[in-house]
Structure formats: structure tokens, C-alpha cells
Amino acid sequence: MSFAAKLLDWLLAPLLFLWFASVAITNFMAMDTVNLPYDQHLEEMAQAMAKLVRGTDEELIFEFPREAEHFFRADQRDEMFFAIRRPWGEVLAGNPDVPLLPGRPEPGVAVFHGGFLHGEEVRVASLPVLAAGVAEDQPVIVQVAETLHKRHALSGEIHTQVILPQLFVLVGALLLVWYGLTYVIKPLKRLKEAMDRRHHRDLTPVDPADIPQELRPLITSVNELMARLERNFKAQQRFIADAAHQLRTPLAGLKSHTQLLLRQDDPRAMKHALTQLAASVERTSRLANQLLSLARAETTGRTIRHDAVDLNALARKVVEQWLPRAIEKHIDLGVEICPEPLTVTGDTLLLGEVLNNLVDNALTYTPRGGRVTVRTRPEGGALLVVEDSGVGIPPDERELVFQPFYRVLDSEPRGTGLGLAIVRSILDAHEASITLRDPESGTGTVFELQFPRPAPYVREFVG
């Protein structure tokens, strides 16, 4: 269902409800208005007939002259009936089928009520009177009844004069609303047509000048989304271009080592060539794995878990995993654990990847006989520290190292330039920060990861 049709439905429902309510109220008021003059006529007829009742010592006498009866029956549209009763219902004269008076009214006060007589609805005026010569404790009830043809006809005319103009106004209002909605949504239709004509890579902002004021926040949000998509798209393009460039060199090296191996006949030379080929394969595999990790962290948009992560246990586990490599390089790899429990909220696997990258990076750039230490502290919520005694990172390059494929100048060995970019992306998703500083003594680098206090939140990675 279109926006205009849905809005029209919302407007039509209350308008129809109000119109039907108006019909009901008009019907009640019309009948009440119509009854006033006709009820007055019935009361006057009852008072006139009450004067024709007189009493004697033995009986009540009702004399209905021919002229009076002719006048009583003169109405051509409605039929008139009368009855003269005792309070207990005994009929002294007239039609005994005239509906009885409910309750016991005061003498001299006419009471109007409805009923049915000979299958037709009638309006009855019941007037208790004290007839001449009758005791005060024996009033006579004079009843005059009339069918409702004239009343219904007049009520119908009132309905027609009131309801039909309302109906015309209602229809006119709906037509005007429909026209107004059609006019209002024209800018939206033009916007839709403009968006349909766009190329799928055209992410330029939408001009909100022709859009209704109420919809401009939506257009602003759409423009912000398109801007983020454009940044993400450009980042992906840069990533693909850089990845292709970075993969080209190790693949070319693999090809050269393979060709060299095919030309070798000497077993010792072949073994040396195989060793170089294995190292090249290892570097290429590591580069490919880190490219996949960075792509997953920056562009998958998946929701991170919000586990309760024990930083102390995570630090011990990661350090244990890297001990064989540290022993191989004669590096003192240690862990200093906070004595109190230290828990943060986040994705256990991703935080493990962060610490693995940092320890790997530290072991890679720390010379033989060096030192790498992982520490946990409760400062500011939770603090994770990785300190090495390697070559260090110059202050003016400490922000640049978090960019994909950036390598510190003159650093050996040459890495992929992706590890710290992966670390920054994952930490951003956990609302954590990372800072670099010099150690308190000697050379090297200190990475400090500051986590907020544990909170049940979930964020998404966005490129």
C-alpha cells in the first residue's frame, strides 16, 4: 500500500467515525425536536377530553360530541386513539389497547411515553385529572395516542437537510486531502525517479531542497549513510589495490624460487632452494591470512559478541602459545598478571587475535636475547600492556603504523604491515584505545590497550 493511500486510510477512518456519530446525534436530536410540537398537541387534546369527563354519585360519565369526535379523527396521515381509565387500569371509555401508563404520575401533569397499538408504534400522552364530581383519591387518567407517520416524515426531512450536506462536505474533504497528498508526495516521486536513474556506484548526497521539512531528517540520514558507504567503498578499493600490490611480490618470489629449483641438479643446492621456497611460502601464507583478518575486521559488518573476557586468563594463554618461538629466538617472554580478577566485555576470539598480533609483532622486531612482557592492570577499567625491547618506533610514525601496509622505515625484518591495522580495527569495535610510548628504560616500544569498564553492549564493525 502506498504512503498516500495509507495516510488517507488513517484520515478516512476517524472522519467516517465522526460522520456516523453525527448521524446518530442528529437522529436523537431530530426526534426530540419533532416530538415537542406534536407532544404539545397531544397534551392539548388530552386536556380537552378531560373536560368531557364528569362524575355522579354512582358512576363516571364521558360525553364525546359528534363534532369533537370528527375533529379528533380529522388527521389524514396519522390515526388517533383515546382511553379513559381508572388508575388501576379499568377502561371507562375509548380503546382498551392504548398502552398503559408506566408508574403513577401526579395529577395534572402529562406524561409522554411510547408503545405499540394494533402493530404500529404510537406516542401516548397520559394525563391524570380529577374529574368534576369525583373524589380526590380517585383520579381519572385520560390517554391520547397517535401514530408516528408525520413525526418520521419530518425527522427524515431534518436528516436530509443536515446529513446530506455533511456527506458532501466529507466527500469534498477527502478529495481535497487526496489532491493535497498527491501534490505533497510529488517531490518524493521525483526523488525516487532520480534515485532509479543513478548508477549503482553514484553515492553523491541527495539534495533536500525540494523535500518537505518533515522528511529532511530522513534525507540527512540517507546522505550520512551514503557518505559512510562511499568511504567504505573507497577503503575497499584501496585495500584491494594494496593487497594486489602486496601479493604480487611474494608470488613473483615463489615463481622465481620454483624456477630456480627446477634448474638445480646438485642436491645441496636443491635443499637450499627448497628452504628458500618454504620461507617464501610461509611469508605468502602469513600475508594472505592477515589480509583475510583485516578484511573481516573492517568490512564484514558482523556483530561482535559481548562475552565476559578474563584478561588475566587471555594473557596467560597467548603467552604460552608463543613460548616456543620465544625460546627459539632466545627472547625472555613473560607475563605479569594483576592479582585481582580483570574482566572486560567483548569477543574472546577477536581480543585473542589482538594480543596474538601484538606479541607476534614484538617477537618479530625484538633481537635475540631481548625481552617481551605482557602485563594486565586494573587502571581505568582494564589495561593490557605489551612491552618489548626491540628497535622501537619513532614518535612521528606511531600513528602511521596503524594504517594498512605501512612499515617503519629501515625496520628489519620486513613485515606485512597489517598486524597493527587489524589491532586498531578490533579495538575500535570494542570502544577500547591503544597508545604507544617508550619504555621507562632502554629501547623498545610499549603498547597500552585501555578497555572501558565492563558493560553489556554490542557494536558492529563498519569499514
Could you report the per-residue pLDDT of 149-184, keeping only the tens digit for each? Answer: 888 888 888 878 887 888 888 888 888 888 887 877
**Which pairs count as long-range contacts for 117-121, CB under 8 Å and 24+ apart, including other chains?**
117/81, 117/145, 117/147, 120/79, 120/147, 120/148, 121/147, 121/148
Provide mean pLDDT across the span 121-134.
80
Dist. CA 449–CA 429, nearest whole Å:
13
Instruction: Provide the terminal-to-terminal Cα distance of the chain, rounded to the nearest Å.
Output: 35
> Which one has a higher pLDDT value, 151 or 446?
446
Percent of the chain, pLDDT > 90? 17
Cα R_g (the chain), whole angstroms: 50
Q: What is the pLDDT of residues 191-246, one digit of tens each?
A: 888 888 888 778 888 887 777 777 788 888 888 888 888 887 877 777 676 666 55
Q: How confident is the model at residue 123 (pLDDT cuts 50, 70, 90)?
A: very high
Predicted pLDDT of residue 251 = 74
Strand positions, DSSP E, 378-418: 382-388
Coil vs helix vs strand at 145: strand
Q: Per-residue confidence at 456, pLDDT binned at 50, 70, 90?
A: very low
**81 CB contacts (<8 Å, ≥6 apart)?**
94, 95, 97, 98, 117, 122, 144, 145, 146
pLDDT value at position 301? 43
- Judge whether residue 383 has pLDDT over 50: yes
408-419 in b/e form (b: 16+ CB < 10 A) is: beebeeebbbbb
Measure the CA–CA gap between 434 and 361, rounded to whole angstroms: 15
Quote the strand ranges of 323-381, DSSP E.
332-336, 343-346, 371-377
Measure the CA–CA gap between 350 and 329, rounded to whole angstroms: 27
Let me know: does 369 contact 323? Beta carbons within 8 Å: no
List, in sequence order, every residue forming a beta bridge with 371; answer none if it has no partner.
Answer: 332
Q: What is the mean pLDDT of residues 343-355?
A: 87
Beta bridge partner(s), residue 384: 376, 449
Contact in structure between 306 and 300 (CB atoms under 8 Å) = no
Q: Residues 380-407: what's their mean pLDDT? A: 85
Q: Taking a C-beta distance cutoff of 8 angstroms, is the pair 43, 126 a contact?
A: no
Question: Could you tell me the pTM of the whole model?
Answer: 0.47
Task: Decide if 205 contacts 61 (C-beta within 8 A).
Answer: no
Q: What is the pLDDT of residue 446?
A: 94
Give the mean model confidence (pLDDT) for residues 53-82.
Answer: 76
Domains and CATH numbers, the chain: 3-156 (3.30.450), 213-299 (1.10.287.130), 307-451 (3.30.565.10)
Amino acid (one-letter) located at 425: S
Q: Which residues are within 8 A (CB) of 79 and not within 5 positions of it... i.e. 6 or more apart?
A: 120, 146, 147
Per the CB < 8 A criterion, the answer to whether 371 and 332 are in contact is yes
CA separation, residue 187 to residues 6, 193, 211 (Å): 18, 10, 6
Residue 392 in contact with residue 361, Cβ under 8 Å? no
Q: Could you tell me the CA-to-CA distances from 289 to 178, 285, 301, 421, 423 in Å, in that order? A: 60, 6, 19, 13, 14
3-state DSSP: the chain helix, strand, coil percent, rounded to 5? Answer: 55, 20, 30
Residue 390 — left, alpha, or beta (φ > 0 → left; ψ -120 to 50 → alpha)? beta
Predicted local distance difference test score (pLDDT) of residue 266: 78
Nearest-CA neighbor of 42 among 76, 78, 94? Answer: 78
Does residue 295 have a pLDDT over 70? no
Q: Are 345 and 455 in contact (CB under 8 A)?
A: yes
Which SS3 state, helix, strand or coil, does residue 91 take? strand
What are the two backbone dihedrals, phi and then psi, of residue 399, each rounded to the nearest 5 degrees?
-90, -30
pLDDT at 359: 92
Residue 2 has pLDDT above 70, yes or no: no
pLDDT > 50? residue 84: yes
pLDDT: is 356 or 265 the higher one?
Answer: 356
The tally of CA atoms less than 13 A away on the side-chain side of residue 68 is: 12
Which grid coordinates are listed for 234? 573507497
Evaluate if residue 135 carries a pLDDT over 60. Answer: no
Range of weakest confidence among 121-130, 192-201, 310-319 = 192-201
What is the average pLDDT value for the chain, to the nearest integer? 80
pLDDT category of residue 247 using cuts at 50, 70 and 90 = low
The whole-number average pLDDT for the span 371-395 is: 91
pLDDT digits (tens, 9 = 90+) for 38-65: 888 888 888 888 888 776 656 677 777 7
Reported confidence tier of residue 139, pLDDT bands at 50, 70, 90: confident
The residue ranking higher by pLDDT, 335 or 156, is 335
